[in-house]
Structures are given as structure tokens and as C-alpha cells.
Structure 1
Amino acid sequence: MSIADLCDALDKAIGENAGNQAVSQFIDTGFPELNEAISGRYDGGLPYGRMVEMFGPSSSGKTALATDWMTATQQMGGVAGFMDWERSFSVDLATAGFGLNDKRPYWIYGKPRTWEEGNVLAAKACQAIRQSGAIDDKAPILFVFDSIAAALPKSQAEKEIDEYTMNDTTALARVTSTTLKAMAQHCEDYNATFLYLNQIRTKPGVVYGDPRTTPGGGAMEFYSTARIALGRQKIMEAVPGGKEFVGQNITAQVTKSKLTKPFKEANLRMTFDDAGVARLDKVFSTIDFLKEKGTLPYSKPYVTWIDGKKYHVKALAEHIRNTGTQSELLKFLPTPAVAAA
């Protein structure tokens, strides 16, 4: 039998090879450094058709980042959804502070009672959106699940608290193991991005290695295309009589990526306005990244901008925002990781 005959025999027996699973569409995170850490390209970001987990300590910026990415999804002509197991999401704050469009069909908000219900609602919504043809096939769908740690398995919801047993301690891990494999399939079927937020716990007695762990067992770690671990450091500014908390520097380490090598880091700056609303300072973060990479002319403490003038980083960020020249920053990105058009 020739090679050609073997190919014909395989086609008849099992059909042609499945389509390539390479990711070619992304939701821009707004931070080129984070895009590259997740996807290996500065013009990448959160991958279509895949699951991503983002975890970190309390107030480390998980919901703020997720809200910003939902807004970005809508600006790309897509649909954003939020499954609120924690019962803590403020739609009013998201619309006023992040520009989220809270109108149907571009915004879907649910308060599912159980883990199973939240995942089923998201899958059904994605199916309805894609089958309708009302939005472009290339438009993104992003569903945020907040959070795995707060989700209640159906087996627990059907009991009273005083009826819980030791089996209920591991109920969430068991149910994530059985449902996430189906959700991964839904991501691909509907070309949707599922972003699961999670908390962290500390393993007792760990002397060597990372003591951090996440609730919900190991299934999310296996099925996610990328896992983003957040850390934070306070930004304090001097004021009369002392110092004042004005924001935080967030370190995002991509501990797993199926798109590029893991353990890349990105530094993100988040400040708070006078009303206490979080503001992700993408311009400042990008300037700082380019300065560290050496592609933006920098002689401590000044950065030389395209107008030939020298600025402190904070002053340059304000100047760029005021003049609407954010796109000029992208010209300074290091060339090796810029994807070809």
C-alpha cells in the first residue's frame, strides 16, 4: 500500500484530521506586558475559546481587572457576563467607574445559587448568543465567575448547615472536576472566554516551595489555558502629617500558560480617585515597562518623549493621556514579541 492509499484509507476509517486548535483571537488586557506574559505577544491577551483562572489575596485587583476586561469586550462589539457567587459585584460602580454598558444583550448578570447553576447559565447564554448571529462571529464573549471559593455545590445547597459532613469539605473540588471538562468544551464550541476568579489559601507547615493554594481542587489548574497569580504592594504618598494610601502596584505572574512559556510577570499600577474608585493606570504601567526594557529613552529620573522634552514618569503619563497619544507608546514595544500582522 502506498502513502496515498494509506491516507485514503485513514480518511474513510476516521475522517480527516481535526482543525488546528491554535488561538488567533484575543481580548486585549490593556497592558502590553501582561498580554505578552499570557499569550506571548504584545497584541494578544485573554484567548478566545479558552478558560483562564486569576487568583490572589483580598483587594489585589481581581474584580477591577475583570471589570475592565468586560468593558474592553463590549468595546470590541462583544458580550460580557458576570456570575456573582460572592454577591459583592456593584453594577453601578462598574458603569460609572469603568464604563461598562449594563444594557442587554451586551451585559448579562446572574446571581446563581449553586456552582452548577452559574456554569449552566453561562453556557446557555453563550449558545443563545452565537446561534442568534446578532453579533459578529469574531466578536468576543467574556464570562467572569466570581469566585470559585464562594461557589456552593448543589449537594451542599440542598442541606441545612447543621447537616454538613466531612464529605462536604471536598464537595467543591469534586464538582469542579466533573463540570470544568464540559465548560472547556463550551469555550471552544462558542468561541468564548471564561475567566474564573479565585481566592488563595495558605498550606500549613510548608517550609519549602510555594505555600499558596486555591480552593476548588486541582481541576482549574489542569483545564485553564492560563493562570494569573496576583500580588500587591501599597503605594503611599506623603501628605501633611504623614502618608496616605493612594493605590497599589499589582504583580501579575502567569504561573501557567499553554500559549507561551510560564512564570512571566507583569507590573500593573492601580490608583484610586477622590471618590474611592479604582483606576487602572495603563499608560503609567506601559511607560514603566518600556523604561525598564530600555526602548524608551530614560536618564534617571527623566524620560525623553517624542516631542523632545524630558518628563518624570508620572508627568509623562498625564501628558500622554491629556494629548491622546497613547498609541505612540506602542511604537516603543520591543520588536521580538510583536506578532506579525
Structure 2
Amino acid sequence: VYAKKLGVNIDELIVSQPDTGEQALEIVDTLVRSNAIDILVVDSVAALVPRAEIEGEMGDSHVGLQARLMSQALRKLTGSISRSRCMVIFINQVRMKIGVMYGNPETTTGGNALKFYASVRLDIRRTGQIKDRDEITGNTTRVKVVKNKVAPPFKQ
């Protein structure tokens, strides 16, 4: 319903909810290689949970597993994306680094591969609400271009 209100053609929309991060990234690869789509959105990188983490016990440590998954997938996807001319958008979340006294305490999940391989990176933050009388009708946002290989960076 929300997507339709935004103008998305629901009849052309493909929604997939895979069980593991590996499945999700294989679906991304298959769709990109098919040349049947123009835009693909992965929502979100933080939700791409590796199979080993899902199948493991609750207290098991899986240090760097998601980062390795993203690195491997992006190495494989980069060429396919370039050849297909498909736009792939990865949505990610900001997390807080624990114990950081100096520098930026914020980080994103999935390691550094996504930061390296991305052509464009945007930092989008809600700055306020748009109200019509007492009803909230939208949000005001700030978009900062963090990385842009196709135009000058750091625009707001």
C-alpha cells in the first residue's frame, strides 16, 4: 500500500524474502545477470544474516562473518552489475561503536567492502517532521553525498 502511494507500479514489483544472506545475494546475482530488471534494492545489509549464524547456537561468536559474505558477494556482483547496467541499491543501518572516545562513534554493518565497491554512498537522516495541523504527513531529511565516483562528493 505504501509503495503504491509513492508511485511504485506494484504489478512490476518483485519481492523476495530469503532465509539467509547467501540466498539473498544469490538472488541478487541471478536477477542482475538476467537483464530483466533496471533497479534492485536490498533492504537491508544488516538483515543479510549468514547461514552459519542462523544455524549456530545463540551465544556462538561469528566475528567478521557478515563482512566476509559481503566482500565475496561484491567481488562476484561488480562485473555483472557493470555489464547489465542495473542499479543495485543497498540500504544499511548506522550502529554505534562501543567505547569510542575520539572520532566518529558511528559505523555501518557488513565491513568495508560495500564502502569500497559503491559508486555512490548517501548518508540520509531525518531532521524533522512535516505536519498538516496535528497530523504528521512526512519527514524532512538531510542527504549528504559521502562518496560519488560520478560527480563531486560532499554535497548536502
Which TM-score applies when normalising by structure 1?
Answer: 0.42
Residue identity (%): 28
Match of 1:86 in 2: none
Aligned to 2:117: 223
- Tell me the alpha carbon deviations over residues 261-281 of structure 1, each in whole angstroms, 9 at most, x when there is no partner: 22111xxxxxxxxxxxxxxxx
Q: Residue type of the partner of 1:202?
A: M
Kept after mapping to 1: 8 A contact 2:35/2:86: no
For residue 7 of structure 2, what is the aligned residue in structure 1?
Answer: 99
Larger radius of gyration: 1
Q: Which amino acid aligns with 2:47?
A: A
Q: Which residue of structure 1 aligns with residue 95 of structure 2?
A: 201
CA deviations over 1:300-331 (Å, ceiling 9, x no partner): xxxxxxxxxxxxxxxxxxxxxxxxxxxxxxxx
Long gaps (5+) in structure 1: 1-91, 131-139, 266-341
What RMSD, in angstroms, separates the aligned Cα atoms of the two structures? 2.2
| Pair 1:185-2:82 in alignment | no
Matched with 1:256 is 147
The Cα shift of 1:182 comes to 1.0
Q: Which runs of 5+ in 2 are unaligned?
A: none
- Residue of structure 2 equivalent to 1:89: none
Distance in 2, Cα, partners of 1:192 & 1:180: 14
User: Corresponding residue for 2:128?
Assistant: 234
Task: For 1:208, give the aligned amino acid.
Answer: Y
Mapping 1:20-39, distance limit 5 Å:
none
- SS of alignment partner, residue 161 of structure 1: coil
> 1:108 is aligned with what amino acid?
I
The amino acid that maps onto 1:258 is: K
User: What secondary structure sits across from 2:31 in the alignment?
Assistant: helix
Separation of aligned partners in 1, 2:117 and 2:130 = 38
Name the SS of the counterpart of 1:255 in structure 2: strand
Within the alignment, does 1:143 sit opposite 2:40 as a pair? yes
After superposition, give the CA deviation of every residue in 1:26-73 in whole Å (9 maximum; x if it has no partner). Answer: xxxxxxxxxxxxxxxxxxxxxxxxxxxxxxxxxxxxxxxxxxxxxxxx
| Letter in structure 2 aligned against 1:253 | K
Structure 1, residues 127-160: CA drift from partner, whole Å, max 9, x if none?
Answer: 2335xxxxxxxxx711000000011112223x24
Q: How many residues align?
A: 156
User: Are the structure 2 counterparts of residues 178 and 98 from structure 1 closer, same or farther at C-alpha, using a change threshold of 3 Å?
Assistant: same
The structure that is helix-richer by fraction is 1
Distance in 1 of aligned mates of 2:106 and 2:93: 10
1:1-341 equivalence runs, <5 A: 92-95=1-4, 97-103=5-11, 106-129=12-35, 141-157=38-54, 159-162=55-58, 164-166=59-61, 168-235=62-129, 237=131, 239=133, 245-265=136-156
Q: 1:238 to 1:107 in 2, by over 3 A?
A: closer
Report the TM-score when normalising by structure 2: 0.87
One-letter identity of the residue aligned with 2:2? L
Corresponding residue of 1:60: none
